[in-house]
Amino acid sequence: MELRYETRDGKGNDFVKMVKIKEYPTENVEFDCPICKKSNSQGVKAKKIISSNFTDYAYIGDYICPECTKLFSLYFYNYIVDPDGIRLINVRQLKDELCKRQNPPFRFIITTSQKKHLFYKSEVDYSSDRFAVNLETEVIYTTPERMTELFEFVENLVTLGASKKAMQNGEISFAVLQKTGLKALEYLQTELKKSREIQIPLYCGQKLEKTEEDCLCSLDLLLSQPREAKRH
């Protein structure tokens, strides 16, 4: 089995990579899969999937269903698991997926290290009105509306020259604040204190193809609205 992954090469050229999913021999065994919780009569012995360095046995049990074993091949990728299967998502596509309604039940996994299995610590979402996102090992609850707002804030600032790393520390450069005013800094620091949601666009937000004037207009509209009225 292979999954489609849209990515870019070192020169910025788009191309499609087919990601191979490992398959494992199954055994006849009656069990409830510790990942999806479904009853199964065929399972894969966990020890055939994981390495000797694996330590999270408490999450996976002795057997895993064949469908859930596919997720062990995806530690390098961001992805959504829903009734239609597995969708691999590159960092530039995350915004669109986070800002729209998903098809429940689903899991939403974002990896920042590309080194860890994250799915068995993630939550299954039964509604896309408010849902859990795994940002690496942290579970963050959000809504499409909040994601739309926070991406708008972060990406407009990035386009104006702000650093996402600095914003993670509650800082915006003086050069950018000269353009936006102090309301941008107040907004950022309030979000960092009251919400973990902003960490998502601070990881995967992108520079926009917009003029400085358009970015400032978008920020002015966002920052001029009462915060409580906008919080979901």
Residue 231 pLDDT exceeds 80: no
Q: Answer whether 219's CB lies under 8 Å from 157's CB.
A: yes
Q: Answer whether 140's CB lies under 8 Å from 148's CB.
A: no
Residue 45 pLDDT exceeds 80: yes
| Planar angle of CA 161, 115, 16, nearest 5 degrees | 70
Tell me which residue has tokens 């970015």.
215
What is the predicted pLDDT for the residue at 53? 82
What is the predicted pLDDT for the residue at 114? 92
Question: Alpha-carbon distance 94 to 67, whole Å?
Answer: 24
Rg of the chain over all Cα atoms, to the nearest angstrom: 20
pLDDT average, residue stretch 117-123: 92
Task: Quick: pLDDT tens for 170-208.
Answer: 999 999 999 999 999 999 999 999 989 999 999 999 999
Question: Alpha-carbon distance 187 to 110, whole Å?
Answer: 25
Residue 227 pLDDT exceeds 70: no
What is the predicted pLDDT for the residue at 182? 96
Name 163's Cβ contacts closer than 8 Å, sequence gap at least 6: 173
pLDDT average, residue stretch 31-55: 91
**57: pLDDT confidence band, cut at 50, 70 and 90?**
confident
**4: pLDDT confidence band, cut at 50, 70 and 90?**
very high
The tokens describing 64, both together, are: 């895993």
pLDDT average, residue stretch 56-64: 89
pLDDT average, residue stretch 115-127: 93
What is the predicted pLDDT for the residue at 12? 85
Question: Alpha-carbon distance 204 to 87, whole Å?
Answer: 17
Q: Answer whether 148's CB lies under 8 Å from 174's CB.
A: no
Burial class (CB in 10 A: 0-12, 13-18, 19+), 124: middle
Burial class (CB in 10 A: 0-12, 13-18, 19+), 60: buried
Tell me the average pLDDT of the chain.
93
What is the predicted pLDDT for the residue at 229? 43
User: To 10 degrees, the CA torsion angle through 19, 20, 21, 24?
Assistant: -170
Q: Answer whether 63's CB lies under 8 Å from 45's CB.
A: yes
What is the predicted pLDDT for the residue at 44? 96
The tokens describing 217, both together, are: 């207009």
Q: Return the percentage of the chain with pLDDT > 90, whole number.
A: 86
Question: Alpha-carbon distance 123 to 154, whole Å?
Answer: 26
Residue 142 pLDDT exceeds 70: yes
Q: Answer whether 200's CB lies under 8 Å from 135's CB.
A: yes
Question: Alpha-carbon distance 37 to 68, whole Å?
Answer: 10
